[in-house]
Amino acid sequence: MWPIESCGSTVTILKHWNVNTALWLRHYVYERMQAAAPALKPFADIVTNLASALWHGLFAGYYVFFAAMALTNKAAKQLHKSVTPLVRHASRRFPPLWWLYRAFCAVLAPWVIAYFAPLFVLLEFRTGIQALAAMRFIPVAVIAAVLVFPWSLFRRVAGIQRVGREYVVCVPRVPAVVEANNG
């Protein structure tokens, strides 16, 4: 339970929520879909979450909830690849920034899942959407904005590169100025 309570991402929460089912879905749906159809790789998250919805039942709320979780996870991964390296780099000069960022993520991740939870609990599409409308669909708009933002261009401009499995800020080296000896 601690990984769920202390995490800072929706990806981690869903990974640790029902570990055996998550492992089964990862092995039999997600990984096999990526291996069998590389062209469909970007949709593996959505298909895996829809398989989970089918596993739960035939209520529309399940499908909308799990589709929303797949899109939320895609947005979270984009932010992780693009924002986390910048915060990590900036926290070298101001160490409390890293802890503030982690605290923000730890509050945001469960809040986003709680926002979509009425779809799962109420089961009916109409009543679930009415519950989401109570917050004016603001989280939906934010997730949509994150998904359409050109993150690859942002990472290129910010100097973020993939090194191994991590994304890091690569500060270009300024060539040393060599003074010519005109003496």
pLDDT digits (tens, 9 = 90+) for 3-23: 666 677 888 887 778 889 889
Q: Is the pLDDT of residue 46 over 70?
A: yes
As a whole number of angstroms, the distance between CA 131 and CA 120 comes to: 11
Q: Is the pLDDT of residue 133 over 90?
A: yes
Interhelix angle 60-82/10-17, rounded to 10 degrees, is 130
pLDDT for residue 63: 95
pLDDT for residue 72: 93
**Residue 161 and residue 168 in contact, taking contact as beta carbons nearer than 8 Å:** yes
pLDDT for residue 65: 94
pLDDT for residue 41: 83
As a whole number of angstroms, the distance between CA 57 and CA 30 comes to: 20
Q: Which of 32, 133, 114, 28 is nearest to 65 (CA)?
A: 114
* Total-model pTM: 0.82
The tens digit of pLDDT for each residue in 95-131 reads 999 999 999 998 898 899 999 999 999 999 999 999 9
The tens digit of pLDDT for each residue in 55-98 reads 999 999 999 999 999 999 999 999 999 999 999 999 999 999 99
